[in-house]
């Protein structure tokens, strides 16, 4: 279940246009990187929190713009993680 504080934060981001800007940045990184990336790699490049990247990535998945890639060793966390790529 989504907490009320999380839902409120999302609504504020959406209303301010910040979520759209973040979503666009995530999409650009995935599109032009040339290989699938982990949330932490995207977050590192954009200076965002991994949770923010995850939320924007999920929105891109729901829009049919991003899909899951093959898991691999993350260059940031050095643990095996899911990757994501632009369609």
Backbone phi, psi, residue 72, to 5°? -160, 175
pLDDT at 1 > cutoff 50: yes
Comparing 85 with 10, the larger pLDDT belongs to 85
Q: Using a cut of 0.85, tell me whether the model's pTM lies above it.
A: no
Whether residue 67 contacts residue 61, with contact meaning beta carbons closer than 8 Å, is answered with yes
**According to CATH, what is the number of the domain 4-86?**
1.10.10.10
C-alpha span between 48 and 26 (Å, rounded): 10
Does the pLDDT value for residue 5 go beyond 80?
no
- Residue 84, helix vs strand vs coil: strand
């Amino acid at each position: 279940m989504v907490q009320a504080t999380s839902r409120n934060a999302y609504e504020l981001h959406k209303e301010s246009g910040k979520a759209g800007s973040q979503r666009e940045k995530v999409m650009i990184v995935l599109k032009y990187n040339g290989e699938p990336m982990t949330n932490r790699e995207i977050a590192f490049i954009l200076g965002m929190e991994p949770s923010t990247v995850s939320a924007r990535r999920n929105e891109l998945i729901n829009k049919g713009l991003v899909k899951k890639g093959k898991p691999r060793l993350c260059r940031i966390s050095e643990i095996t993680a899911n990757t994501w790529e632009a369609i």
